[in-house]
Amino acid sequence: MELLGLDVLFKGSNAMRLLQGLGIAVEISIISVVISLILGMLFGIFMTWKNPVAKVISRIYLEIVRIMPQLVLLFIVFFGATRALNINISAELSSIIVFSFWGVGEMGDLVRGSLESIPKHQYESAAALGMTKGQIYYHIVIPQAVRRLIPMSINLVTRMIKTTSLILMIGVVEVMKVGQQIIEANRMASPNAVFGIYGIILLLYFLVCWPISMLARHLEKKWSN
Amino acid sequence: MANEGVLRIEKLRKSFGDNVVIDGLDLTVQPGEVVVVIGPSGCGKSTLLRCINGLEEIQGGRILLDDQEVDGRSKDIARIRQKLGMVFQSYDLFPHKTIIENVTLSPIVVQKRPKSEVIAEGEALLQRVGLLDKRDDYPRQLSGGQKQRVAIARALAMKPEIMLLDEITAALDPEMVHEVLDVILDLAREGKTMIIVTHEMSFARAVADRVIFLEGGHIVEEGIPEQFFTNPSTDRARAFLRTFEFDAVRSHVPKLQENDAASA
Ligand SMILES: Nc1ncnc2c1ncn2[C@@H]1O[C@H](COP(=O)(O)OP(=O)(O)O)[C@@H](O)[C@H]1O
Ligand SMILES: [Mg+2]
């Protein structure tokens, strides 16, 4: 215990604070993931439109999402909005905005990819069997697209959750932040705390991400045609 | 109704941009008739079948089935397509459905027939194409020839008036061609109306009531198979049929063994 500095964890409310930090990170992830999944579906369908304007808009959006590191986006939204627009956005809200902006783009591209991966002949065979457009989507296209989509989107969700540790950089009271505070406060009394606390943080992230990864792999296997 | 089961194509015109593929084609198919369409690659055989099924917009003329117009843009098209069973070269089974589900999906969701009745009929159709033991498999577990037989059963499950078959053996390994064509010969024997596009000439000869030779957007020649294949009246048909023959290039005639010669 002494060696890893884990005694620090049981001092005062340290353990409680660490869990609260994780709680906020998870909350930000969940909200962003839900927004990303819902708006991403719509954005993905929008991207399959033949309309050239729709194509250009989605192209630009995707390029921004792909090129800009989330960290830069976080700074732009959090500090930029405060400076330039003179509005005060909380760190939590700016994190949610940035992760959703990112997630909607990525999710949209996954949805577009799954829809476009269904060959034209699947539509035509179904049409030749007398199905209406609605029946073709409901019975043939969407079930196949969803099977391709689910493992990929779970993978995206895992990545989104992992990336929440970025939030620390702009001062959200989140796992890493709390961890750091605990370490700082105990630097003299327990110099090894840095190993223990970061170890615990790693463990916490693992506990959140691992079941999701396992689920992703399981579904991938089950639905690989 | 006088024209029950009759397909009438009048002055059909179909082009892709400037490329006129079908140029004023007339064709009437009577109930029970088996029409085989042949012609060089790219002459519009697939396009013709796709027009008949309303999968292509047409630029002129009309297509009538039971005196009803087939028009890909009309609201009625899904209902009319139920009378036309189409089988494509690439079979295109639904990969996320089992074999029996592939066969029964459309009768259940489109025709809204009772499920138990449809499943019993679907099993009978699978029995007929020799695949009842594959009932609960997925398409990926089947060979090409087996998939194509399921695709035929799937089309038949809708009880179509006319079957449209577009080079259904062209993508298959040679040893699987027969098992598929046998199913079609069986349907012909039963009196099913069919329009068949094929490059299998001996099959065409065996199955056809009438052969149509298509080229340059027109029907160049048509006739009963005996006459068409043995004594075509146009040069173009003759030239086309010659492309299926090979001249012997043997320069050494092998000496027959004694016993072979004796038994010969
Ligand atoms: N979707 C399409 N768009 C443009 N041209 C097409 C299309 N489908 C077919 N064609 C053209 O129409 C002609 C006839 O094609 P097709 O009906 O497939 O011939 P076949 O089945 O006799 O080999 C070809 O010249 C082909 O290039
Ligand atoms: Mg063709």
Amino acid B49: pLDDT = 96
Rounded CA Rg of chain A = 22
pLDDT at A168 over 50: no
pLDDT at A38 over 60: yes
Average pLDDT over residues B156-184: 94
Q: Do B24 and B45 share a domain, yes or no? A: yes
Q: Do B56 and B172 share a domain, yes or no? A: yes
CA–CA separation, B207 and B200 (whole Å):
11
Does residue B107 have its Cβ closer than 6 Å to ligand 1? no
H/E stretch holding B13 reads strand B7-16
Amino acid A219: pLDDT = 65
CA–CA separation, B161 and B181 (whole Å):
19
Q: Do B238 and B116 share a domain, yes or no? A: no
> B98 — contact with chain A (CB < 8 Å)?
no
Average pLDDT over residues B52-77: 90
More confident residue, A221 or B176: B176
Average pLDDT over residues B255-264: 55
| Structural domain includes residue B89 | no
Considering Cα of A156, then A161, then A164, then A165, what sign does the dihedral take? negative
- Identify the top-confidence range among A31-35, A70-74, A164-168, A195-199: A31-35
Residue B27's alpha-carbon distances to B81, B156, B212, in angstroms, are: 19, 23, 10
pLDDT at A65 over 50: yes
CA–CA separation, A91 and A89 (whole Å):
6
Total number of domains in chain B: 2
Beta carbons of A225 and B96 less than 8 Å apart? yes
Amino acid A220: pLDDT = 63
Ranking A180-194, B11-25, B157-171 by mean pLDDT, the lowest is: A180-194
What count of other Cβ atoms lies within 10 Å of the Cβ of residue B189? Answer: 10
Q: Do B168 and B257 share a domain, yes or no? A: yes
CA–CA separation, B29 and B61 (whole Å):
16
Q: Minimal Cα–Cα distance from A114 to chain B, Å?
A: 14
Q: Do B172 and B239 share a domain, yes or no? A: yes
Instruction: Give the pLDDT band (50/70/90) at residue A2.
Output: low
Instruction: Give the pLDDT band (50/70/90) at residue A176.
Output: low
CA–CA separation, B227 and B207 (whole Å):
14
- What phi, psi does A21 have (nearest 5°)? -60, -45
Can you give the residue range of the structural domain that contains B153? 94-159
Does residue B217 have its Cβ closer than 6 Å to ligand 1? no
Query: Which of A156, A157, A161, A120 has the alpha carbon at shortest distance from A141?
Result: A120
pTM of the model: 0.79
Instruction: Give the pLDDT band (50/70/90) at residue A122.
Output: very high
Amino acid B179: pLDDT = 92
| Structural domain includes residue B2 | no
Q: Which CATH class is domain A6-224?
A: mainly alpha
Give the residue from B142, B159, B176 where a domain finishes: B159
b vs e for B98-122, b when ≥16 Cβ sit within 10 Å of the residue's Cβ? bbbbbbbbbbbbbeebeeeebbebb
Amino acid B198: pLDDT = 95
Q: How many CB pairs under 8 A join A and B?
A: 63
Q: Which atom of ligand 1 is nearest to the CA of B48?
A: 17
| Substitution target from B53, B81, B103 for chain A, most A beta carbons within 10 A | B81
Instruction: Give the pLDDT band (50/70/90) at residue A199.
Output: confident
Query: Which of B190, B226, B200 has the alpha carbon at shortest distance from B211?
Result: B226
CA–CA separation, B190 and B179 (whole Å):
17
Instruction: Give the pLDDT band (50/70/90) at residue A86.
Output: confident
| Structural domain includes residue B1 | no
> B73 — contact with chain A (CB < 8 Å)?
no
Bin A115: left if φ > 0, else alpha if -120 < ψ < 50, else beta. alpha
Amino acid A172: pLDDT = 45
Query: Which of B234, B181, B173, B241 has the alpha carbon at shortest distance from B206?
Result: B181
Please state, rounded to an integer, the average pLDDT across all residues of chain B: 91
Q: Minimal Cα–Cα distance from B57 to chain A, Å?
A: 14
- Residue that the structure tokens 């964890």 belong to: A9
Question: Among B12, B16, B50, which is best to mutate for testing ligand 1, by the most ligand atoms less than 8 A from CB?
Answer: B16
Does residue B21 have its Cβ closer than 6 Å to ligand 1? yes
Instruction: Give the pLDDT band (50/70/90) at residue B220.
Output: very high
Please state, rounded to an integer, the average pLDDT across all residues of chain A: 79
The residues spanned by each domain of chain A are 6-224
Structure tokens at A160: 């989104």
Residue B217's alpha-carbon distances to B16, B120, B167, B239, in angstroms, are: 12, 43, 19, 17
Average pLDDT over residues B52-56: 94
Q: Please, which residues have CB within 8 angstroms of residue A174's CB and are 6 or more apart in sequence?
A: A21, A22, A24, A25, A28, A164, A165, A167, A168
Considering Cα of A154, then A155, then A159, then A160, what sign does the dihedral take? negative
| Structural domain includes residue B12 | yes
What count of other Cβ atoms lies within 10 Å of the Cβ of residue B47? Answer: 22
Beta carbons of B96 and A124 less than 8 Å apart? no
Q: What share of chain A is helix, strand, coil (3-state, %, to 5)?
A: 80, 0, 20
Residue A194's alpha-carbon distances to A41, A174, A178, B259, in angstroms, are: 42, 16, 12, 95
Average pLDDT over residues A151-170: 69
**CATH code at position B236:** 3.40.50.300
Length of chain A: 225
CA–CA separation, A17 and A9 (whole Å):
10
Q: Which of A125, A131, A147 lies nearest to residue B96, judging by beta carbons?
A: A147
Q: Do B76 and B155 share a domain, yes or no? A: no
Q: Which atom of ligand 1 is nearest to the CA of B43?
A: 22
- What phi, psi does B122 have (nearest 5°)? -60, -40
Are the C-beta atoms of B79 and A131 separated by less than 8 Å? Answer: no
Instruction: Give the pLDDT band (50/70/90) at residue A8.
Output: low
Q: Do B139 and B20 share a domain, yes or no? A: no
pLDDT per residue over B196-212, tens digit each?
Answer: 999 999 999 999 999 99
Amino acid A173: pLDDT = 46
pLDDT at A137 over 50: yes
Q: How far is the CA of B77 from the centre of ligand 2 (A)?
A: 23
pLDDT per residue over B94-106, tens digit each?
Answer: 999 999 999 999 9
Amino acid A56: pLDDT = 92
| Structural domain includes residue B213 | yes
Beta carbons of A122 and B82 less than 8 Å apart? no
Length of chain B: 264
Q: Which of A128, A135, A225 lies nearest to residue B86, judging by beta carbons?
A: A128
CA–CA separation, A125 and A144 (whole Å):
15
Give the three-class secondary structure for B226. Answer: helix
Strands B60-65 and B19-29, by their bridges, are unpaired
Q: Do B79 and B178 share a domain, yes or no? A: yes
Give the residue from B159, B191, B216 where a domain finishes: B159
Which chain A residue's Cα is nearest to B159? A129
CA–CA separation, B68 and B71 (whole Å):
9
Q: Which of B86, B93, B110 lies nearest to residue A135, judging by beta carbons?
A: B110
Average pLDDT over residues A177-190: 72
Q: How far is the CA of A121 from the centre of ligand 2 (A)?
A: 14
Does residue B37 have its Cβ closer than 6 Å to ligand 1? no
Amino acid A209: pLDDT = 67
Average pLDDT over residues A129-158: 89
Q: Do B31 and B110 share a domain, yes or no? A: no
Amino acid B50: pLDDT = 96
Structure tokens at B4: 């029950």
Average pLDDT over residues A113-139: 93
Amino acid B5: pLDDT = 77
- Chain A hits for B78, CB-CB cut-off 8 Å, are 127, 130-132
pLDDT at A171 over 50: no
What's the distance, CA B43 to chain centroid?
A: 16
Give the residue, by CA position, lying nearest to ligand 1 atom 14. Answer: B44
CA–CA separation, B200 and B221 (whole Å):
18
Q: Minimal Cα–Cα distance from A131 to chain B, Å?
A: 6
Q: Do B44 and B171 share a domain, yes or no? A: yes
Average pLDDT over residues B110-139: 96
What count of other Cβ atoms lies within 10 Å of the Cβ of residue A42? Answer: 13
- Chain B hits for A143, CB-CB cut-off 8 Å, are 96
| Structural domain includes residue B88 | no
Give the three-class secondary structure for B29. Answer: strand
Give the residue, by CA position, lying nearest to ligand 1 atom 16. Answer: B44
- Residue that the structure tokens 């708006």 belong to: A39
Average pLDDT over residues A67-79: 81
